[in-house]
Amino acid sequence: MNARSGADPVERWREALERATPNDGTFSSQRAEAFARFAREGFPGARDEEWKYTSLRRLAVRDFAPADRETALAATLLPAPPFGPHRAVLVNGYLHTAGSTLDTCPVGLRVRSLARTAGEADASTWLRIPAGGGTARFAALNAAFCGDALLIEADRPVTTDAVLHLQIDALGDEATMSHPRVLVRLAAGAGLRLVVHYRGDDRAERFVNAVIDVDAGERSELQIYRLQEQGAKSFQIERIEAALAREARLVVRDASLGGSLARLDLRARLAGSGASAELTGLFLADGARHLDTQPRVEHAAGGTASVQDYRGIAAGRGRGVINSKVVVNEGAQKSVSRQTSRNLLLSPGAEIDTKPELEIRADDVQCNHGATTGQLDPAALFYLRSRGLDERAARSALTRAFAGAVFSRMDLEPFANAVHAEFDARLDRLLAEVA
């Protein structure tokens, strides 16, 4: 692992892109354009308001080689968690066909990769880069480097409850950067439950730069169950960008538990009237982990509704950032939104920065927000101890209770069980360290 302090990653990655010719040179001019956009914006610095609490200095000085297809497909897969029979596996950004079960996909659900459908596709859709700030520049970097872009198309009726399990793994001994890219398109009236599970082994330090781009047609409903368990040494930057047509609905149940530094921009644009988004989740920043979550909903049409409800826990020297935002555009009357952020600090060295934002350009709306950050309630701790629970059991019970409100909303049982088990194990370990 080389750490070239002071070197400019933009120039290094430009050279890497020239050498790599991702996906046999398909869309090379579009990729060059995408990279040019990344290069123009460059690495976010301390003055960038949307990166105020998250410094990428540690990432900038690392030297990551672009992941290559051969190594990725030769990697030994990790066991697949039981999130359902329909599975697409991306390893280092490449579709691992042998590990996937795409041929058994139910009727009305299609999963394909860019490599196989480039001829019929149009680059401006495949390599679409979101407008706006935050992680948009990294979405451009993703477009420049991505291996297989995965296209998930659903036209199954919203009443069926098929689950697609998207396994996004970062594996191998090399310090690689990978750029998973997933496009999700829901036809009018379609429904899909999508489990997105990020994992990495701890054999190398890596950079995972993921983009999930969602088009939800009228009256469609997409439920995303996201579990981020990136490798402990790794960096992850992720952009989930969803556009919702009239009366479409997006539900996100998110658990961010892994990585050394991870940033998620989760953006929903309620483009059609009656569209709604419910973004809820939990992060656990223990050890020296840095987890930055930025959910954002844009109410672009009237009669739209959104909920953002996040709970964060930081322990050790962990650092959490939760910066939620609601934007109500001009004319988006009768919009309703609620932002809640509750945060728990388990040790004196831990820190959580929370900043709910509200930007309203319409006059007939109902928007509220609230944020709290605190420690475990000493009165509750004493109450439990006075009944015979030791301090560790009391802290554990109260921390689990704090997170439990999020778990209870994860109504996909195998997913909820997996998140719960990992959360409990991590909590046990960190409480044992404190004791």
Partner 1 sequence: MLSIRNLHVQVGARKILKGLDLEVSTGQMHAIMGPNGSGKSTLAGVLAGRDGYEVTQGSVLYQGQDLLAMSPEDRARAGVFLAFQYPVEIPGVNNAYLLKAALNAIRKQRGEPELDAFEFLGLVRQKLQLMQMDESLLNRSVNEGFSGGEKKRNEILQMAVLAPTLAVLDETDSGLDIDALRVVADGVNTMRDPARSIVLVTHYQRLLTYVVPDVVHVLLEGRILRSGDAGLALALEERGYDWVRREARVA
Pick from 25, 82, 382, 428 the residue near partner 1 by CB under 8 A.
Answer: 382
Pick from 330, 364, 375, 383 the residue near partner 1 by CB under 8 A.
Answer: 383
Pick from 115, 397, 414, 424 the residue near partner 1 by CB under 8 A.
Answer: 397
Tell me the closest approach of the beta carbon of residue 381 to partner 1, in angstroms. 9
Tell me the closest approach of the beta carbon of residue 226 to partner 1, in angstroms. 23
Sign of the C-alpha dihedral computed for residues 37, 39, 41 and 42 taken in this order: positive
| Binding characters for partner 1, 339-378, by CB under 8 A (x = yes) | --------------------------------------xx
| Binding characters for partner 1, 403-432, by CB under 8 A (x = yes) | -xx---------------------------
Looking up tokens 């956009």 gives 37
Q: Are 399 and 375 in contact (CB under 8 A)?
A: no
Q: Are 256 and 293 in contact (CB under 8 A)?
A: yes
Tell me the closest approach of the beta carbon of residue 390 to partner 1, in angstroms. 5
Tell me the closest approach of the beta carbon of residue 250 to partner 1, in angstroms. 27
Task: Specify the amino acid at residue 281.
Answer: G
Pick from 5, 29, 76, 386 the residue near partner 1 by CB under 8 A.
Answer: 386
Is 388 near partner 1 (CB under 8 A)?
yes
Tell me the closest approach of the beta carbon of residue 42 to partner 1, in angstroms. 44
Tell me the closest approach of the beta carbon of residue 409 to partner 1, in angstroms. 13
Tell me the closest approach of the beta carbon of residue 256 to partner 1, in angstroms. 20
Pure H helices in 174-256: none
Is 39 near partner 1 (CB under 8 A)?
no
CB nearer partner 1, residue 27 or residue 310:
310
Is 402 near partner 1 (CB under 8 A)?
yes
Please identify, among the stretches 4-12, 156-164, 184-192, 383-391, the one whose residues bind partner 1 according to the rule CB under 8 A. 383-391
Tell me the closest approach of the beta carbon of residue 311 to partner 1, in angstroms. 11
Q: Are 69 and 147 in contact (CB under 8 A)?
A: yes
Tell me the closest approach of the beta carbon of residue 377 to partner 1, in angstroms. 8
Pick from 98, 131, 379, 432 the residue near partner 1 by CB under 8 A.
Answer: 379
| Binding characters for partner 1, 229-268, by CB under 8 A (x = yes) | ----------------------------------------
Is 19 near partner 1 (CB under 8 A)?
no
The Cα 429–Cα 104 span in angstroms is 39
Is 390 near partner 1 (CB under 8 A)?
yes
CB nearer partner 1, residue 131 or residue 379:
379
Is 398 near partner 1 (CB under 8 A)?
yes
Question: What are 369's two structure tokens?
Answer: 């927000």
CB nearer partner 1, residue 192 or residue 344:
344
The Cα 389–Cα 302 span in angstroms is 52
The Cα 111–Cα 253 span in angstroms is 22
Is 434 near partner 1 (CB under 8 A)?
no
Question: What are 339's two structure tokens?
Answer: 């932002």
Pure H helices in 23-104: 28-41, 57-60, 69-74
Q: Are 255 and 282 in contact (CB under 8 A)?
A: yes
Q: Are 156 and 162 in contact (CB under 8 A)?
A: yes
Tell me the closest approach of the beta carbon of residue 388 to partner 1, in angstroms. 4
Pick from 380, 421, 425, 434 the residue near partner 1 by CB under 8 A.
Answer: 380
The Cα 369–Cα 337 span in angstroms is 8
Map residue 118 onto helix, strand or coil: helix
Please identify, among the stretches 287-295, 326-334, 344-352, 382-390, the one whose residues bind partner 1 according to the rule CB under 8 A. 382-390
The Cα 110–Cα 104 span in angstroms is 10
Of 182, 187, 190, nearest in space to 213 by CA: 182
Of 258, 251, 44, nearest in space to 140 by CA: 44
Q: How many CB atoms lie within 10 A of CB 361?
A: 12
Map residue 415 onto helix, strand or coil: helix
| Residues touching partner 1, count (CB under 8 A) | 23
Tell me the closest approach of the beta carbon of residue 343 to partner 1, in angstroms. 15
For the chain, what percentages of helix, strand and coil (3-state, to nearest 5) are there? 25, 40, 35
Q: How many CB atoms lie within 10 A of CB 77?
A: 13
Sign of the C-alpha dihedral computed for residues 49, 280, 93 and 151 taken in this order: negative
Residues in contact with partner 1 by the rule CB under 8 A: 377-380, 382-391, 393-394, 397-398, 400-402, 404-405
